[in-house]
Structure 1
Amino acid sequence: MGNIQGLYPKSNKSKVSFLKELTLEEDPMFIALTETHLATNVKDSEIGITNYTLYRADREGRSHGGVMVYLRHDLAAHTKTLLSHSNGVIELLALHITNINLIIVNCYRPPQCNLESFSKALEKLNEVLETTPHAMTDVIICGDFNFPFICWPDGRSSGGTLEDQAQAKLLLEIADKLFLNQHIMEPTRRNNILDLFFTNNQESVSNCRSEKTIFSDHNIVYINTTYIKSKTPQDSMTPPNMTPFASFNFFSQKVDWDQLQQDLRKIDWKLALQGSDPNTTLNTLLRILLEVCTAYVPRKSNKKDRRYSIPRDRKILMRKRANLNLKLVNSTNETQRLIISSKIEDIEQKIKHSHEEQRRTEEHQAIENIRHNPKFFYSYCKKFLKTKSQIGPLVTEQDTITDAPKETCQMLAHQYNSVFSIPKTQPSSTRRPRT
């Protein structure tokens, strides 16, 4: 979790890529971000992460602000949005993961916030939380609250304006009411604890650390919890397009499109497909297309599909970064800590440069292919314009989740059959004559 200080700014679009690779390395349950600076002109497809569902509450009426949560797909299948709120000053997002009975609240309260706006936002949150049995429901409230004058862990106020102290009191009253404890004890921006993490299940949190990063002026906060691990690990997820055609390189300049189209036009499709049941028709169609593609489309190289893996150079850098962060946590020597922090910053600069260089290369390739292979260009552009909706995981009648292809098909077929009805035909006497 943390304040991202603009998730997708024009000046630095490598933040999303960095988060994607963190999810591949860490497989977090969720990522909570504040100050996303998003608006309707930024599509979900531009900031999406594979195997995670995106929930966002953008600031309304003004720029900046905003909160969002990336939630792992296996949990999103059981999740309801309880609150998505912005009053132009405060943003709140509340999600209920029903299968583990956990409510996650993400909040952004800016500096110099007025009491009325914060009070009204907390009233909405109270309304949501009062509808759940708190004694049985786990609650996490996290976000950037900008209360540097609160001393933790006791929650005493030391400084701050009277209005800020009044707002801090409202937050602490909710914490006392729900038996929430705050777990972040290390500075999250310079020497201040601005980002907070409350929970009413103290045993669910086993570790909390704050790490500096070049991707924001706030630290990244890692929270280890005892909640369920992924039921659909990323390395076992079935990549899309696993058909016989996935082995063909349709982006190659060696594809003989003219001859391919001529061969397809010569086929008597009516004769080839007539008198067959749907499965036989589909198999015949695929067989013919496969034969034509085999003749005129080159195969892809036998390299492993790397769409879901981190390039080797960045994987090495990220491992070095993780090892240095571990040394930083365990080090008590201030001089040594400064040296380690400098090394971490240098590694993150290299990671950022690698992401930017990869993006430039992909954009250049797409532009170069506009004339002779427009399919390559449009496929590159389309991934930033449309979110790919994953089918599943689905919740079974036994309240378990499944992503098995056969079971998913059977569940969808059962659902469609249960709501299917024969269309009513219009009486012939009322039909209008054709013109």
Structure 2
Amino acid sequence: MCQQTSQDRQGKKGGGVALYIKNVHTWTEVEMNVGDSCVESLWVKLKGVKNEGDIMLGVYYRPPSQVEEVDEAFFKQLTKLSKAQDLVVMGDFNYPDICWETNTARHRLSNKFLDCIGDNFLFQKVEKATRGEAVLDLVLTNREELVENLKVEDSIGDSDHEIIEFMILRKGRRETSTIEVMDFRKADFDKLRELVGKVPWEARLKGKTTEESWKYFKGTLLRAQKQTIPLCRKDRKYGKRPAWLNKEILHDLKIKKESYKKWKLGQLTKDEYRQATRECRGKIRKAKAQNEIKLATGIKGNKKTFYKYIKSKRKTKDRVGPLLSEEGEAVTGNLEMAEMLNDFFVSVFTEKSGGVPNVVNTSRERVSLEDRIHKEQVKNHLGKLDVSKSPGPDEMHPRILKELIEEVSEPLAMIFEKSWQTGEIPEDWKRANIVPIYKKGNKNNPGNYRPVSLTSVPGKIMEQVIKEIICKHLEGNKVIGNSQHGFVKNKSCQTNLIAFFDKITSLVDKGEAVDVIYLDFSKAFDTVSHDILIDKLGKYNLDRATIRWVHNWLDNRSQRVVVNGSKSCW
């Protein structure tokens, strides 16, 4: 059963607009102070359930002969309501000359409508013709991913317009984050260095396995970290103060607020209140402009802050979902989306056969003593850490490791050496938090998200150490051919293109025919056989200890997807 709300055309037959809303929904009609009597539009606010936000729904009919004044009245309505969290407007707009592929039009009124859409950051979702060869019926939204699965179907009865069917994928209100992160501004790094530096690491790690040594190191560091670095909410309800909001602006805002109260009490005239408002607004605009100039001029030294500011100004956010289940139902819960994405990412991975490959061609049984992992080597890698990066599941933050470079390089070198010689990999190093990053296409399709892994920082350093060992062997024995450009030092896509075009142009100059075939393997890194890679290392005479380490590094890895702090199962 549905409820109906409508606005009939006054004084004439035909026209008018109506909305039919199922009884399960709670809604209220929104009265507009602009153009109510002349604009054939209807607006309702559909109330969200649980943690879902409200949706502003609008329906509009524009007669082909509508005058410009009525167009302007509707534009004012659209401008006012486009500030809603979620907005969907549908109807017969009657702009047959607009080409939606190029966003251009022949007539002046049509161009004014396009300007209105652009000024309010609205998206037009209908791509196929709805009457003849023209796109007359439109669906507008202020959040691109809000409207999905739009179809243009056959008309009903005597209507000469096609039916438009679409889904509104509702997204819940932004929940207050419960994620706690370290507040480095209040950290006591001197005390932390003292606590970690006094540990006799050689004696404490002696006789322990790699896993036991790692757990002791991790536990010691996390306990000291807890004593010296307080925690704070990652995303508090009221957020951080904008960079432009300084003490002077705060003082002016306070004066403006007090002026409003005095005006209401009759202690100030309206002109005096308006003057205070104008002064405050002018200073805010100036402060915002100065902040943007500062960000632009300092982009070379602080790219992260610049792009964070740009991202905050975008209407469409790169959030995850909502996703569509196999049954076609919208999934909006963070935990449910995390589980769905985790299942999908795992499904594209090709299982390899078990067991260590039989490496028959290697003659090196052991690693020579001069190839051991030293403290200075670990310090070199710690010094290159990007402190702005996130930690992995083991909570080892790169900022902490870099701050304590002198204190942690020795125990890490011991753990790395044990791991290399024995082939034992700590469980923490083989786990990953997966952050889904939207690529392109429909946001409700899990296949349109790319998994980005956040793994253990010490584990990644160990991985770099092993990589150096392997590369040193391959380069020394001239295993890699000149035609290999990917993942090779001092080579890149650019060097590959130069070599490629040099070869092609030389053949063309000789008058020879040239055929070029490009191959792009879908999800190549996810489906490559680990056993084949390990077998190749053995055939290139790499030592057994390193081969065993690489095999164990790739074996029995686990992951979980994290969406807005909610974690899927491993």
Structure number with larger C-alpha Rg: 2
- The one of the two structures with greater contact order (alpha-carbon pairs below 8 A, sep at least 6) is 1
What band does the TM-score fall into relative to the shorter chain?
Answer: 0.3 to 0.5
TM-score if structure 2 supplies the norm length?
0.27
